[in-house]
Copies of this chain bind each other. A is one copy, B any other.
Amino acid sequence: MTKITPGATIGILGGGQLARMLALSSAQLGLKTHIFSPFADDPAFDVSTNRTHADFLDESALNDFANSVDIITYEFENVPARTAQVLESLRPVRPNPKVLALTQDRLIEKQFIRDLGAQTAEFYDVTDITSLKKTVNIIGCPSILKTRRMGYDGKGQAKITDQRDLEKLYMTFNGAACILEGFVNFSKEISVVAARSLDGLFSAYDICENIHENHILSTTLVPATIKDETAQGAIDIARKIAEAADYVGIFAVEIFVVGDHEALIVNEIAPRVHNSGHWTLGGAVTSQFEQHIRAIAGWPLGSTQRLGAKVSMQNLIGKDCEQWKELLSSEASLHLYGKKESRPGRKMGHVTKIHL
């Protein structure tokens, strides 16, 4: 298994803020970066050593990219299978692209989680209007219809509150393969951000407590206000996932906490650095971005020690970033992603506050 040395080049698929922060952390470790993205304005291009602006299915560009780097990683789970296949034939791709097949499809993902003995919401495959009606009947309302693929930040899903108008609703999904999920009445949303090294060592950060607004992460508070046993249970689930997937790098597991007994219902797995882990940048000895690079480089994982009694992270969504000047005057640390244009729902930056 290839281990790189300082001076090597990390290839990164995708050029958004996650790729940008991965590139900045690579630089800290004396590594060069090469960003591959189909979007010319992507903010990671501004900080990378080398840049390829091409489509993910442009095999000639993929070949040149792979030949110019030492290892390859990605900032998003929707890397096309063919892209991964081309790259894998030339250089190590980490995390192993097998995890993409697992996390790109909600049905396969939930089955994988269940097979590990962890709980998920009730779910059924929905292939047509007949199966939708049948499964709504089984699960009851409210329930949630989700596309199996390409959903994020609440996109590609709809809440079903009664059994009328199912045809009309289903039409808006345009025949996409779906699952119907039971609605989880959670008391808290948490996430485990953890890493597994090339040598198979596992290390988790403190559990994050997450608050979403309009299906988009708004705030993360660390440590989560949950029982120690609950935190340990969540970490155990993450460890099982990492080992079963032979995972290398940072990943996040989003989990619902239900009831006073704090039952854990796994929502989804993100095979990449994760927004709920942004607090680690400045708030922990090793950031999730550095940890990811260490893991995929084949290097030892760093300390996940939290700095300060509590750390909070607030996303700046859309026009929130216009407050940059006031935020600079606070005790918090401002991170702006360098995106040209703020749009509603677009993640423009975040603010981290360490409570000593």
Interface residues of A (CB under 8 A from B): 6-7, 20, 23-24, 27-33, 45-49, 282, 285-286, 294, 299-300, 302-303, 305, 307-308, 321, 324-325, 328-329, 331, 333-338, 340, 349, 354, 356
Contacts and interface: CB of A to CB of B under 8 A. Distances in A.
A24 B20 contact: no
Contacts of A282: 282, 285
A107 to B, nearest CB: 39
B7 A27 contact: no
A285 B333 contact: yes
Given A6-B324, A46-B49, A336 B303 contact: no
Contacts of A28: 24, 334-336
User: What are the 10 tightest A-B residue pairs by CB atom distance, in nearest-first order?
Assistant: A30-B336, A46-B49, A300-B329, A307-B307, A30-B338, A27-B47, A303-B331, A300-B328, A6-B336, A299-B328
22 contacts: A6-B321, A6-B324, A6-B338, A20-B27, A24-B28, A27-B46, A28-B335, A28-B336, A30-B349, A31-B338, A32-B46, A45-B49, A47-B48, A282-B282, A285-B333, A299-B325, A300-B325, A300-B328, A302-B328, A303-B331, A307-B354, A307-B356
A282 B325 CA distance: 23
